[in-house]
Amino acid sequence: MNILDFTSIDNLKRTSGEICSKGWGEANGGNISIRLTGEELAHFQEHQSAEKEHSLPYAVPELAGDCFLVTGTGVFFRNISTSPEESLGIVRINSKGDGYSMMWGYDGGGQPTSELTAHLLSHGVRKRVSSGRDQVIIHTHTTNLIALSFVLPLSTPVVTRELWEMMSECLLLFPDGIGVMEWMVPGSLEIGLATSQLMEKHRLVLWAHHGILGTGPNMEQVFGLIETADKAAEMLLKVMAAGGKRQAISADQLKKLAKAFNVDPLKEAID
Ligand SMILES: [Zn+2]
């Protein structure tokens, strides 16, 4: 099986193109990781890496032996589809979960994204809480959600509720809300730990004045989740610019909606 024919590589190429067309993929902004499964994972099981092992700043034993397709550091999303071997790579986590080896890609001396720690810590949490279902993490610079982080209080229930009120779809797509974090230094262990803590409860995490992280079982669903949240943020900014809300979906209406579609909305955001 040729690695360049992996479905996960195809999906990543397509999604990075969509991110660029949204205007979220400026320069080297954003990073994506996918936990490989099935045939794609099996491909690496007999291989040994020729590269030396790299240590992680924090062990993630949940991911021992797992392989991830990860965008490289400094990579421009707009170049991924034309130069996947330089832009992408596959890493395998060691048996203790405290180091990784590069198994494929990063041609020309590249290495995984500087946000690898945040990705792996979050994958560890999501693998556990979703019973292995969530495999994809996208971090991208969503224009409207970033703008909103300058005008709303940096509070999970407040931001969640404001987005839910913008259109019915929001509560149905992210009843677990959007976890909100203060600005932190990108690439640090601290931002990784804080993100993974919020990932215990939320599939969307907003990094104030920076961007969003989303997770889910596949690329399409994660992109859809992020796209929906950013569209709601765009509408909220327009409503604010037009003088503010005169009416909105009420708490009672949100509860009716949740009941009708059998979803369990984040309690702090609805009461
Ligand atoms: Zn970023």
pLDDT tens track for 82-107: 999 999 999 999 999 999 999 999 99
Q: What is the mean pLDDT of residues 170-183?
A: 98
- Nearest Cα to Cα of residue 65 among 46, 86, 89, 87: 46
**Is 115 a known active-site residue?**
yes
C-alpha 210 – ligand 1 centre gap (Å): 6
pLDDT at 52: 87
Whole-prediction pTM:
0.98
Angle at 145 between CA 166 and CA 27, to 5 degrees: 145
| Cα gap 220→192, rounded to integer Å | 24
Q: How far apart are alpha carbons 170 and 161 in whole angstroms?
A: 10
Task: Report how far ligand 1's centroid is from the alpha carbon of 140 (Å).
Answer: 6
* Ligand 1: centre distance to CA 253 (Å): 35
Q: Sign of the C-alpha dihedral, residues 75, 77, 93, 42? A: negative
Kindly list the domain boundaries of the chain, sorted by start residue.
3-270
207 in Cβ contact with 226 (< 8 Å): no
Q: What does the pLDDT average to over 73-87?
A: 98
Could you report the per-residue pLDDT of 195-246, keeping only the tens digit for each? 999 999 999 999 999 999 999 999 999 999 999 999 999 999 999 999 999 9
What distance in angstroms lies between residue 211's CA and the mean position of ligand 1's atoms?
6
CA distance 14 to 3: 16
pLDDT at 212: 98
Catalytic residue, candidates 40, 115, 162, 227: 115
* Cα–chain center distance at 119: 8
The yes-or-no verdict on residue 48 having pLDDT over 80 is no
Query: Which residues, 6 or more positions from 221, have their beta carbon under 8 angstroms from its beta carbon?
Result: 136
Q: Quote the radius of gyration of the chain (alpha carbons, Å).
A: 19
Mean pLDDT throughout 249-263?
98
Residues near ligand 1 ion, CB 5 Å cutoff:
211
Can you identify the CATH homologous superfamily of domain 3-270? Class II aldolase/adducin N-terminal domain (3.40.225.10)
